[in-house]
Amino acid sequence: MNESETFDIIVVGAGIIGVATAYHLQQNNPEKRILLLDRYLAAGQANTAMSAAAVRNMFASSTNQLLTDSTIKFIEHVQTELGFELMFEKCGYLWLLSEEQFNSEGVKLWMERMKRSGISHKVYDKHELKDMIPSLVVDFSNSEEAHLMNLKEVSYGLFGADCGVLDATRFVEFYFEEFKKISSVKPRFGVNVEKLILEADPKLDLPGEPFVWQDKRVVGVKTDKGEFRADCVVLATGAWANELLDPIGMDSRTKCKKRQMFVVHASDNEGLKQLLNTKGFNDMEVCPFIILPSAGVYFRPQIQEHGFWVGCGDKLGRAYKYIQTDEELVPESSYYENSMFPVLSAYFPDFASTRPVNSWAGGYCYSPDAIPLVYYENGVLVANGASGSGIMKADAIARIADALYRGMPEAELFGGKKIPSEALSIKKRKVETENVVI
Ligand SMILES: Cc1cc2nc3c(=O)[nH]c(=O)nc-3n(C[C@H](O)[C@H](O)[C@H](O)COP(=O)(O)OP(=O)(O)OC[C@H]3O[C@@H](n4cnc5c(N)ncnc54)[C@H](O)[C@@H]3O)c2cc1C
């Protein structure tokens, strides 16, 4: 049998959360030997690459506000002060809301909490919206189809100017390159972790241990390329957390739901070109990330491709899945055609004559309260459950994971704000439920 290799920390998963965590751990624990590994052949190839790569601090829970606001500030710092191009553009987020939605308790609380946290936001009424986005349909009084589809009329727009879009791959590259500069261990790819190694603590070397009366902890990973051991195994495996935690009897408390993205080009469509070049919301004179009032449909501008990425946060009717094969995460063109497209083209008729040129799908890793889970138990440090917003929370999650590893009571986030290190844990969880999930 091959000898197992030994490290201080093994980070499983090189998505945005894994690379950010590896970087902060190495930065603050320079003497530790940290192995970063992934079953894909490069970093950031799984759900990080499938995302809409948009970032917002407009959340209803103060925890998500803190995590995202500090991560967005870090993104700005990387791009403007460190000079690492992330293609970060502050185009803003615009929620289109009906009268009823705008006056609901949920939206009032959301706005109140943003005000309290100093999250900048602005309300537009429908006349202002029509002036700025002439192609937006705000009145469905003569549309039987819209009534049939239960589409809500637009009365208000809630806009956040500090939100935007970036290139998620560049963000991964930033952490990965910085990690490699300071790490003495070369990251490994094409390595599949088959199971976590759970052993008795302390080990008595009795046949058949660990027994029920013994304490146990994870001491490493068994992979298709051999066994690796470490004092701490970080699981940044996103939507696949259950795969490794279930077999050792740890509940990841996360569930995965498929999400899809469709690319629509604006180049051959005058109306869409104008929509893309919407003025008044940001310095780049580009349309913001827009969320429609109905059915969870949204789109973001893709400036370099001269088009839009269109998605949908469908809820009831979309199954939670234990993702086992890549085939489960393929986009469905009929879903765009029959579900998203009728909604999209009702509010923005310019989309009617154009069809997607590309599409992909990935999985959201949901926690029960839509706040990430970060905890260190039994030798495993878990960082997942970002609930569809892991890129915009990555830096904060990684700093919390590092603080937990170092046994610090608080984690200092970028910009200086602090959060109790165990606030996102399972046992000492101290968070509000998030209601603004797209
Ligand atoms: C369609 C869509 C749109 C989204 N839009 C946004 C958005 O606009 N903004 C935003 O912030 N977030 C968005 N998200 C969510 C975001 O993509 C995720 O929250 C984020 O990528 C999670 O990062 P991660 O590192 O946990 O996961 P991943 O990027 O999935 O990385 C996990 C890694 O673990 C590896 N791994 C898993 N199991 C094993 C194993 N057994 N052995 C070895 N390696 C393993 C995988 O190969 C993978 O590379 C979106 C997601 C989707 C699907």
Ligand 1 atom nearest residue 38's Cα: 44
In terms of DSSP H, where are the helices of 81-233?
A: 99-102, 105-116, 126-132, 144-148, 168-182
Task: Give me the pLDDT at residue 326, please.
Answer: 74
First to last CA, the chain: 49
Annotate 369-408 with b (16+ C-beta within 10 A) or e (fewer): bbbbbbbbebbbbbbbbbbbbbbbbbbbbbbbbbbbbeeb
Classify residue 412 by burial, with Cβ atoms within 10 Å: 0-12, 13-18, 19+.
middle
Q: Which residue has the higher pLDDT, 424 or 323?
A: 424
Residue 117 has pLDDT above 60, yes or no: yes
User: What is the rounded average pLDDT of the residues 51-56?
Assistant: 98
* pLDDT score at 1: 46
Assign domain 93-160+255-366 to its CATH architecture: 2-Layer Sandwich (3.30)
The ligand 1 atom at the shortest distance from the C-alpha of residue 392 is: 11
Query: Which tokens in the block code for residue 157?
Result: 């727009």
Distance 247 CA to ligand 1 centre (A): 21
Mean pLDDT of 20-46: 98
Work out the mean pLDDT of the chain and round it to a whole number: 96
Dihedral (C-alpha) 105, 107, 113, 115: value to the nearest 10 degrees?
Answer: -120
Whole-prediction pTM: 0.97
Q: Which residue has the higher pLDDT, 84 or 323?
A: 84
Which pLDDT does position 3 carry in this prediction?
A: 75
Per-residue pLDDT band for 198 (boundaries 50, 70, 90) equals: very high
What number is the average pLDDT over the span 91-100? 98
CATH number among 3.30.70.1520, 3.50.50.60, 3.60.15.10, 2.40.30.200, domain 5-52+170-253+369-420: 3.50.50.60
Rounded distance from Cα 85 to ligand 1 centre (Å): 21
* Helix runs in 122-221, H state only: 126-132, 144-148, 168-182
Residues 6+ apart with CB under 8 A from 131: none
Percentage of residues in the chain with pLDDT exceeding 90? Answer: 95
Q: How confident is the model at residue 58 (pLDDT cuts 50, 70, 90)?
A: very high
Q: Delimit the domains of the chain by residue range.
A: 5-52+170-253+369-420, 93-160+255-366
Ligand 1 atom at minimal distance to the Cα of residue 393: 11
Pocket perturbation via mutation, ligand 1, pick of 40, 45, 48 by most ligand atoms within 8 A of CB: 48
Write out residues with Cβ below 6 Å of ligand 1: 12-18, 38-40, 45-48, 50-54, 192-193, 236-240, 243-244, 259, 261, 311, 362-364, 384, 386, 388-392
- Residue whose Cα lies nearest atom 21 of ligand 1: it is 48
Kindly state the tokens that stand for 176.
Answer: 């990965």
Pocket test for ligand 1, best of 17, 191, 237, 325 (most atoms within 8 A of CB): 237
Report the percentage of the chain scoring pLDDT > 70.
100
Q: With contact defined as beta carbons under 8 Å apart, do 364 and 259 qualify?
A: yes
How does pLDDT run across 338-366, given as a tens digit for each residue?
999 999 999 999 999 999 999 999 999 99
Distance 300 CA to ligand 1 centre (A): 19
> Where residue 324 falls among pLDDT bands split at 50, 70, 90?
confident
CB 11 within 8 A of CB 25: yes
Strands (DSSP E) along 15-152, which ranges?
A: 34-38, 54-55, 93-97, 122-125
Ligand 1 atom closest to Cα of residue 18: 25
Residue 324 alpha carbon to ligand 1 centre in Å: 15
For residue 295, how far is its CA from the centre of ligand 1 (angstroms)? 24
Whether the Cβ atoms of residue 86 and residue 123 lie closer than 8 Å to each other: no
Is pLDDT of 96 > 80?
Answer: yes
Backbone angles phi and psi of 437, in degrees to 5 = -110, 130
pLDDT tens figures, 41-50: 999 999 999 9
In the predicted structure, residue 2 carries a pLDDT above the cut 80: no
Q: Which tens digits make up the pLDDT trace of 168-177?
A: 999 999 999 9
To which residue do tokens 């696949």 refer? 240
Cα 180 from chain centroid (whole Å): 23
Question: Is pLDDT at 90 greater than 60 in this prediction?
Answer: yes
What does the alpha-carbon distance between residue 363 and residue 48 come to, in Å, rounded to a whole number?
10
Summarize pLDDT for 218-261 with one digit per residue, the tens. 999 999 999 999 999 999 999 999 999 999 999 999 999 999 99
User: Relative to the CA of 43, which ligand 1 atom is closest?
Assistant: 49
